[in-house]
């Protein structure tokens, strides 16, 4: 008997793939035949517009422009293609202009757009249409013109909502790949900045750009990144998060191993430090690899404010990280297993505050943690105005009601609230999610083994962090392996004029960052 | 993969063997003593019972705050008895539904009878064996029973525990009174060392510091009063601060008097000539003038600063010599913690006799160096 497996038969898979393929045939010269060939592919797509027109001349040449509605800029189409071709086309003067053939003459003399290519096969024609290109087909010509005039409606460049700064740029990435690349280019005018585009998604054909500085980034890592992206075999991706999950080294880890930012001014220094940027079309978040753990605690603002304040804030963030993960767990461990470790007066206060609560500390803390997590989740999905109301209701009314109803003690509300505040003090959204998740197992360990369990949890987290890699680079560097030079920008940020070398934790070709030897009047090239 | 899961299994088994949810106890179900007092049981003190030392029982008195808001009294005082410290805690299970958690008590008071008769070694052994007990627990001795101290009514503090804790901290920092913790007591019963502890007494309806209790290892053998205790602290080298008065006489008449706020430190040198040991203790005092009751200006009396320094140095030297004499002749125990210097150099020879009559036979010289840093005038 044939064994039945969950997988579809191989033949069936191949049949499906074959069906999707377009016959690789040359385009005919007659316009009607070309339209006939295209018909099966376009007839069910009502958003694809075919606009017939005649080129000026004797006799007038019949032509058709095909494009996806609202993907291109209508104004550009009228101004730079239709108007010149219909009114000013100089197709009679091919020889005078030295053009090889008619189609060259048309785009060289009459079309004022720049990104133009030619196609002469059916697959390339169909694919270009669905890639959002404008296609011009002419009667009697086998070749067609493919014009990139992406435009239409898109979100304007705006302040990045999740990474706002007081002193930094107000520009954030948007959903348009080319604009996002331009935002980087405007900041990094180095001719060595390489932008390589590729496509991901068999059906979505999403454009992905890989950016790196040629003489800084490590070629092996660049190759590895490109290899991992090119190996992605998926029908479609809708955000950079897809790419992140395909290329990360350890998908089972809760820690983010790819750095995501919505700020071009954050991406720029990352590229300068030898990292590789990945920008995905239709996503306002760019990715950077290799990523280090310390990177997720650093914010753009750290580099815009003065050194001492930035270092102070960064230390606060590390404290916030510890509090966010361990405070509720520590509360459970101390109140349920090792109360002797608390100062006496605090112990009595905690004891008094818990007197009326009928649940054990563990249940009380878990219930409050879950309620607060649900409130956050509710707030994220709601419109801003309602989310604010939910926040106020949960923060003040729910907390107060829980205390009045003697379901929770004031101390547990304080502890959980403090841990939530500390969670959101972290600058990286990915790290925020990791911390939110990590809190629960820590609480479980504390509830089961007390402070001892908490210590074990701490050791497990550290061991896990040390074992992680990002594109083959140790994730917990510069702490493990220790790179003393890089500690200048880990727990604190030293003066810029002391950061002469690029981070050792990231493999790269050019280590020297600058030649300054001192701040202020002492500054001179060394 | 199998190895990985085996490792996880081993770790979990080890974890469970060390701690687990069976140790769980909710904080509001515990009784936290604010202070405890250990005394010799009343019956054990009477000669009629004719009890052997090892049969003597111990009284444990505790102040436990009442957590519930419905209870009027802020705390309750309970006394239980047992053959040993741990055994004295046992009767609490019959009289109190809360789980007794001895580790949180900040102050432990030992009755004079207990300290002088059976000594505190066994008590300290019991306390230090429990991992919950913080080694920073403050120890003090009560003149009379410790229980009496805890039962003195108090109005201005939440309980006697808070009062004593503050009193001991303040008197140590600003009054040349020793402090003793569980950790210090344990280290001070090592060879060549002996503990001292603050001494509390009841005066009228108030608990006050009365000086220091002097121990020979775990057993209390004497008391230093409030005049002797600062000298004991200076000789022992326990750094503290306090106020010392002075009177300067010239031609038999009072020239100036006042007081100086000082802090102390000490240096010790030891020399050996055969079996003769000579210790040179240098007490270094530094401070500032708190007051002087004449209108003499330092700007016009250039010698005044030196006169004050010399007077204080002479006073402290004289008192130190008296105390050393008393120590060598009466206590016959090294309560100024100098034997360790000799032990460090000649351990093999001294380790067996350093705790016997060693301190009575040595020559101890004292030099006091006083420096008045500030006098409150621009000189």
Nearest CA-CA partner of B33 in A81, A20, A344: A344
In what helix (H) or strand (E) does residue A38 lie, and over which residues does it extend? helix A31-42
- Tokens describing residue A32: 């009607």
Residue B202 clears pLDDT 90, i.e. is over it: yes
Q: Do B24 and A360 touch (CB under 8 A)?
A: yes
Query: Nearest-CA residue of chain B relative to A354?
Result: B28
Distance from B145 to chain A by nearest Cα, in Å?
A: 25
In this prediction, residue B68 carries a pLDDT of 79
Q: How many CA atoms lie within 13 A of A145 on its CB side?
A: 25
DSSP A520: G
What parts of chain A have a pLDDT lower than 50? 1-12, 14-16, 18-19, 525-526
Mean per-residue pLDDT, B204-228: 93
Domains of chain B, start order: 26-226 (no CATH), 237-379 (3.30.300.210)
Chain B positions touching A335 (Cβ under 8 A) are 26-27
Separation in Å, CA B90 to CA A524, B86, B94, B149, B168: 77, 7, 8, 23, 29
What is the 3-class SS of A463-500, one letter each residue?
HHHHHCEECCEECCCCECCECHHHHHHCCCCCCHHHCC
Most distant pair of Cα atoms in chain A: their distance: 101
Selected for mutation to probe chain A from B7, B18, B26 (highest A CB count within 10 Å) is B26
In this prediction, residue A90 carries a pLDDT of 65
In what helix (H) or strand (E) does residue A384 lie, and over which residues does it extend? helix A384-392
Round to whole Å and give the CA distance between A338 and B353. 43
Q: Which of B21, B28, B132 sits opposite A354 (nearest CB)?
A: B28
In this prediction, residue A100 carries a pLDDT of 63
Q: Do A340 and B133 touch (CB under 8 A)?
A: yes
The radius of gyration computed from the CA coordinates of chain B, to the nearest angstrom, equals 25
Round to whole Å and give the CA distance between A66 and B284. 99
Distance from B139 to chain A by nearest Cα, in Å?
A: 16
Q: Do B15 and A344 touch (CB under 8 A)?
A: no
Q: Please, which residues bridge with residue A48 across strands?
A: A68
Q: Which of B15, B68, B103 sits opposite A355 (nearest CB)?
A: B68
Does residue B128 belong to the interface with chain A, where contact is any CB pair within 8 Å? no
In this prediction, residue A10 carries a pLDDT of 45
pLDDT category at B197 given cuts 50, 70, 90 is very high
Of residues A400 and B279, the one with the higher pLDDT is: B279
Round to whole Å and give the CA distance between B283 and B336. 12
Is residue A469 a contact partner of residue A251, using CB atoms and an 8 Å limit?
no
Give the pLDDT confidence of A369-392 residue by residue, as tens digits: 998 888 888 887 778 777 777 777
Is residue A358 a contact partner of residue B37, using CB atoms and an 8 Å limit?
no
Q: Do A449 and B27 touch (CB under 8 A)?
A: no
In this prediction, residue A437 carries a pLDDT of 93
Chain A positions touching B132 (Cβ under 8 A) are 338, 340
In this prediction, residue A194 carries a pLDDT of 94
Secondary structure of residue A185 in the 3-state scheme: helix
Task: Tell me the residues of A at the B interface, defined by beta carbons under 8 Å apart.
Answer: 335-340, 342, 344, 347-348, 350-352, 354-355, 357, 360-362, 447-450, 452-453, 456
In this prediction, residue A198 carries a pLDDT of 92
Does residue B19 belong to the interface with chain A, where contact is any CB pair within 8 Å? yes
| Phi–psi pair at A348, nearest 5 degrees | -65, -40
Mean pLDDT of chain B: 87
From the CB of residue A103, how many other CB atoms can be counted at a distance below 10 Å? 20
Does residue B104 belong to the interface with chain A, where contact is any CB pair within 8 Å? yes
Chain B positions touching A340 (Cβ under 8 A) are 101, 103-104, 132-134
Give the pLDDT confidence of B122-154 residue by residue, as tens digits: 888 888 887 778 888 899 999 999 999 999 998
Secondary structure of residue B71 in the 3-state scheme: coil
Separation in Å, CA A71 to CA A209, A306, B334: 20, 45, 95
DSSP letters for A77-106: IIIIIIHHHHHH--GGGHHHHT-SSHHHHH
Query: Nearest-CA residue of chain B relative to A363?
Result: B26
Q: Do A344 and B34 touch (CB under 8 A)?
A: yes
Give the pLDDT confidence of B46-60 residue by residue, as tens digits: 555 555 555 668 888
In this prediction, residue A415 carries a pLDDT of 93
Nearest CA-CA partner of A490 in A275, A216, A293: A293
Query: Nearest-CA residue of chain B relative to A353?
Result: B28
Does residue B98 belong to the interface with chain A, where contact is any CB pair within 8 Å? no
Length of chain B: 379
């Amino acid at each position: 008997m044939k064994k039945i497996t969950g997988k579809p038969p191989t033949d069936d898979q191949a049949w499906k793939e074959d069906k999707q393929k377009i016959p690789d045939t040359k385009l005919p010269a007659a316009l009607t035949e070309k339209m006939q060939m295209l018909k099966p592919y376009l007839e069910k797509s009502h958003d694809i517009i075919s606009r017939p027109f005649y080129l000026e001349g004797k006799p007038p040449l019949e032509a058709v422009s095909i494009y996806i509605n609202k993907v291109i800029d209508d104004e550009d189409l009228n101004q730079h293609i239709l108007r010149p071709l219909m009114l000013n086309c100089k197709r009679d003067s091919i020889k005078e202009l030295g053009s090889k053939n008619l189609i060259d003459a048309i785009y060289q003399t009459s079309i004022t757009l720049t990104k133009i290519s030619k196609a002469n096969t059916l697959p390339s024609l169909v694919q270009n249409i669905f890639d959002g290109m404008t296609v011009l087909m002419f009667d009697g010509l086998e070749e067609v013109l493919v014009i990139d005039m992406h435009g239409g409606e898109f979100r304007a460049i705006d302040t990045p909502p999740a990474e706002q700064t007081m002193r930094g740029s107000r520009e954030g990435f948007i959903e348009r790949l080319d604009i996002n690349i331009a935002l980087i280019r405007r900041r990094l005018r180095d001719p060595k900045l390489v932008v390589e585009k590729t496509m991901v998604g068999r059906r979505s054909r999403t454009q992905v750009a890989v950016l790196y500085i040629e003489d800084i980034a490590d070629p092996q890592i660049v190759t590895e990144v490109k290899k991992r992206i090119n190996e992605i075999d998926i029908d479609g991706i809708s955000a950079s998060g897809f790419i992140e999950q395909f290329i990360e080294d350890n998908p089972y880890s809760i820690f983010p191993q790819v750095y995501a930012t919505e700020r071009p001014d954050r991406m720029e220094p990352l590229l300068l430090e030898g990292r590789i940027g990945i920008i995905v079309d239709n996503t306002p978040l760019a990715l950077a690899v290799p990523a280090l753990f310390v990177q997720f605690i650093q914010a753009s603002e750290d580099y815009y404010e003065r050194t001492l304040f930035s270092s102070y804030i960064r230390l606060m963030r590390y404290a916030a990280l510890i509090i966010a993960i361990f405070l509720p767990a520590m509360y459970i461990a101390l109140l349920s297993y090792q109360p002797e470790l608390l100062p006496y007066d605090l112990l009595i206060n905690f004891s008094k505050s818990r007197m009326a609560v009928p649940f054990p500390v563990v249940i009380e803390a878990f219930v409050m943690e879950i309620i607060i997590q649900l409130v956050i989740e509710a707030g994220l999905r709601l419109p801003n105005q309602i989310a604010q109301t939910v926040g106020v209701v949960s923060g003040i009314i729910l907390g107060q009601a829980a205390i009045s109803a003697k379901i929770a003690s004031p101390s547990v509300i304080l502890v959980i609230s403090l841990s939530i505040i500390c969670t959101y003090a972290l600058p990286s959204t990915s790290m925020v999610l990791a911390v939110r998740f990590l809190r629960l197992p820590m609480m479980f360990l504390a509830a089961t083994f007390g402070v001892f369990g908490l210590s074990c949890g701490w050791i497990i987290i550290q061991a896990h962090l040390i074992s992680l890699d990002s594109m083959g680079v140790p994730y917990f560097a510069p702490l493990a392996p220790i790179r003393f030079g890089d500690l200048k920008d880990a727990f604190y940020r030293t003066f810029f004029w002391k950061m002469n070398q690029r981070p050792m934790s990231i493999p790269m070709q050019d280590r020297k960052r600058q030649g300054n030897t001192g701040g202020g009047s002492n500054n001179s090239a060394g | 993969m199998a190895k990985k899961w085996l490792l996880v299994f081993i770790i979990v088994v080890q974890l469970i063997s060390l701690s687990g949810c069976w140790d769980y106890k909710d904080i509001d179900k515990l009784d936290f003593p604010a202070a405890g007092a250990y005394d010799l049981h009343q019956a054990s003190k009477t000669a009629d019972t004719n009890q052997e030392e090892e049969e003597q029982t111990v009284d444990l008195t505790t102040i436990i705050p009442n957590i519930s808001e419905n209870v009027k009294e802020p705390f309750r005082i309970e006394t239980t008895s047992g053959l040993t410290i741990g055994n004295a805690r046992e009767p609490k299970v019959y009289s109190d539904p809360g789980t007794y958690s001895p580790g949180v008590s900040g102050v432990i008071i030992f009755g004079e009878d207990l300290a002088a008769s059976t000594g505190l070694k066994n008590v300290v052994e019991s306390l230090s064996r429990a991992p919950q007990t913080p080694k920073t627990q403050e120890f003090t001795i009560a003149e009379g029973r410790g229980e009496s101290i805890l039962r003195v009514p108090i109005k201005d503090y939440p309980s006697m525990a808070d009062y004593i804790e503050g009193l001991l901290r303040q008197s140590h920092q600003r009054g040349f009174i020793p402090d003793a913790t569980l950790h210090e007591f344990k280290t001070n019963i090592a060879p060549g060392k002996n503990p001292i502890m603050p001494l509390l007494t009841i005066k009228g309806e108030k608990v006050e510091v009365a000086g220091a209790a002097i121990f020979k290892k775990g057993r209390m053998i004497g008391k230093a009063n409030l005049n002797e205790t600062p000298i004991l602290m200076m000789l022992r080298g326990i750094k503290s601060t306090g106020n010392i008065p002075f009177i300067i006489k010239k031609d038999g008449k009072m020239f100036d008097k006042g007081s100086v706020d000082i802090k102390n430190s000490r240096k010790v040198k030891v020399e050996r000539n055969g079996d003769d040991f000579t210790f040179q203790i240098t007490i270094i005092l530094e401070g500032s003038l708190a007051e002087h009751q004449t209108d003499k200006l330092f700007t016009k009396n250039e010698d005044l600063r030196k006169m004050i320094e010399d007077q204080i140095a002479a006073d402290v030297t004289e008192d130190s010599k008296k105390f050393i004499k008393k120590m060598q002749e009466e206590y016959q125990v090294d309560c100024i913690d100098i034997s360790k210097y000799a032990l460090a150099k000649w351990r093999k020879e001294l380790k067996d006799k350093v705790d016997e009559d060693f301190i009575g036979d040595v020559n101890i010289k004292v030099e006091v160096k006083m420096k008045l840093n500030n006098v409150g005038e621009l000189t």
